[in-house]
Amino acid sequence: MLSFEPTEDHKIIRETVRKFAEREMAPGIRERDAKEEFDTSLLQKKAETELLGICLPQKYGGAGMDYISLGIACEELERVDTAVRVIMSVHVGLNSLALLQWGTEEQKEKYLARQTEGKQFAAFGLIEPGAGSDVIGIQTTAKKEANIIS
């Protein structure tokens, strides 16, 4: 029979991320929202607690936990600050997990550890005039003119 009870590891993750969010994110949230600013030091603090690599294999610098752990972490971040959770979802979900699934071994070795350590952060550009957030309607293309990735 399938059990929906959280494991002991999941309970520890929930408590750990909840404490992190209350300690690191909650103070100053009103000021950050009023100024429409994001405190980039929160990304480094998430890296130090292994949140940026929570469900990535240890081989690539991750914590090696499951996707349920990622979901629990996102719930606890969302409980305090939606913006911080969205950035986590983009960094881990859209970028790191896509790279893990479809990247070459060389790409994984080059980028994943840097991303889990907070030395490199992923972003996602979505909105553009005429398309809004309709991904299919986006007309922007990229042209590499210089090597900007170190």
Over the stretch 6-42, which tens digit does the pLDDT of each residue have? 999 999 999 999 999 999 999 989 999 999 888 888 8
pLDDT tens-digit readout, 74-114: 999 999 999 899 988 999 998 999 999 999 999 999 999 99
Q: Which domain holds residue 56?
A: 8-121
Does a structural domain hold residue 137? Answer: no
Does a structural domain hold residue 138? Answer: no
Does a structural domain hold residue 145? Answer: no
- Contacts of residues 32-38 at CB distance under 8 Å and 24 or more positions apart, as own/partner, are 38/83, 38/84, 38/87
pLDDT tens-digit readout, 50-70: 899 999 999 999 999 999 999
User: Per the structure, how many domains does the chain have?
Assistant: 1
CATH number of 43's domain: 1.10.540.10
Does a structural domain hold residue 63? Answer: yes
Does a structural domain hold residue 79? Answer: yes
Report, as an integer, the average pLDDT of 119-140: 80
Does a structural domain hold residue 80? Answer: yes
Q: Using 50, 70 and 90 to split pLDDT, how confident is the model at 150?
A: very low
Does a structural domain hold residue 149? Answer: no
Report CA dihedral (97, 101, 103, 106) to the nearest 10 degrees.
Answer: 90
Of 47 and 20, the structure prediction assigns the larger pLDDT to 20
The rounded mean pLDDT for the chain is: 89
Residues of the chain with pLDDT > 70, as a percent, come to 97
Does a structural domain hold residue 143? Answer: no
